[in-house]
Amino acid sequence: MTVGLFIPCYIDQFYPNAAIATLNLLSKLGITVKYPVNQTCCGQPMANSGFEHLTQGCNDLFIDNFDEFDYIVSPSGSCVLHIKDHLHSATAEDKALGIRKKVYELTEFLTDVLKVEKLEARFPHKVGMHQSCHGQRGLMLAQMTELVDKPYSKPLQLLKMVEGLELVELSRADECCGFGGTFCVAEEAVSVKMGKDRIADHINHGAEYITASDMSCLMHMEGILRRQNSEVKVLHIAEILNAE
C-alpha cells in the first residue's frame, strides 16, 4: 500500500516533531510513507470563517498532491474531517470523491486499517487525553458523552498499548478546548477561558502531559500553560505512540 503523509500547515511550521513522529511510527509499522513536498494546507481556516468559496486553490493543490496514493494519513482530526466533508473540485470531482474516501486520521488508520494490536512504545508518565472535537464527533474516533451508546476510543485503545503510561481521568471527558480556528482570536476571551478550564481539569487530576490527536488544540493549551509557567507539557499522540 502507498501512503501519502498529509501534514497540517501549523504542524509543518511549528511542531515538526509531531510530523516526524508520525512518519517514524508508520515506518516502524512497515508502511512506506511519502510526503508530497508541495502540500500546503487543507483550507479549513478559510472555510470555517465563511470563505469556503476561496478554497478552490487549496483543494486543487491537495488533489494534485494526494490523488496517487492508496491512503492519505494525517496527524490531525480536524484537517482530515475538513477534507472528508468539504473537498470538492470543479474540474476533478471524481478524484476529490476518491480522496474523501481514503483519507484517515492517524489513530483511526492504526486501529481500523493497520489493525495494530501492540506497539513498541514506552512513556512512563501521567497523561491526560484531550478529545479533540472534530476527530471525536466528526470522525467518530471515540464515543461522545452526550450519547447513550457503547463506549469506545481509538486513541485510548492505542495509548493503552504504551508501556508505563498512566491515563488520568477527567471531570469533563470531552469538552471543547476553545481553539476553534479563527475563533481563538475572534472570540479571544471565551477561547482562552475554555482553554484555561480544560487545562485546569488535567492539572487537577495530576496530568504531567496533555495529549490529543489535534495539534491545534494542544498549541492553544500550550500557549496558556506556558503563560501560567506550568510544568505540564503538551505532546501530540504520535509522539507518545512513537516514544521509546
**Is 122 or 152 the residue whose CB approaches other proteins more closely?**
152
Q: Give the count of residues interacting with other proteins (CB under 8 A).
A: 75
Neighbour-count burial for 54-92, b at 16+ CB within 10 Å, e otherwise:
ebeebbbbbbebbbebebbbbbbbbbbbbbbebbebeeb
How far, in Å, CA of 156 to CA of 127, rounded? 11
**Is 144 or 161 the residue whose CB approaches other proteins more closely?**
144
**Is 102 or 196 the residue whose CB approaches other proteins more closely?**
196
How far, in Å, CA of 102 to CA of 128, rounded? 30
Instruction: Give Cβ neighbours of residue 100 (< 8 Å, ≥ 6 apart).
Output: 83, 84, 87
> Residue 197 burial by CB count (10 A; 0-12/13-18/19+): exposed, middle or buried?
middle
**Is 136 or 165 the residue whose CB approaches other proteins more closely?**
136
Residues 119-178 that bind other proteins (CB under 8 A): 133-134, 137-138, 144-149, 172, 174-176, 178
Residues 184-213 that bind other proteins (CB under 8 A): 184-195, 197
The window from 103-111, 118-126, 158-166, 219-227 that contacts other proteins (CB under 8 A) reads 219-227
The window from 10-18, 95-103, 108-116, 157-165 that contacts other proteins (CB under 8 A) reads 10-18
Shortest Cβ distance from residue 1 to other proteins (Å)?
17
Secondary structure class of 36 (helix, strand, coil): coil
Q: Could you say which of 69, 104, 179, 209 contacts other proteins (CB under 8 A)? A: 179
How far, in Å, CA of 164 to CA of 155, rounded? 16
The window from 47-55, 98-106, 119-127, 201-209 that contacts other proteins (CB under 8 A) reads 47-55
Placement of cell 471531570 in the chain: 171
The window from 37-45, 91-99, 115-123, 151-159 that contacts other proteins (CB under 8 A) reads 37-45
**Is 95 or 134 the residue whose CB approaches other proteins more closely?**
134
**Is 98 or 223 the residue whose CB approaches other proteins more closely?**
223
Residues 56-115 that bind other proteins (CB under 8 A): 57-58, 60-61
Task: Order across the sheet with 166-167: list the strands.
Answer: 166-167, 126-129, 209-212, 233-236
How far, in Å, CA of 104 to CA of 101, rounded? 9
**Is 126 or 196 the residue whose CB approaches other proteins more closely?**
196
Shortest Cβ distance from residue 134 to other proteins (Å)?
8
Nearest alpha carbon to residue 176 among 152, 196, 160: 196
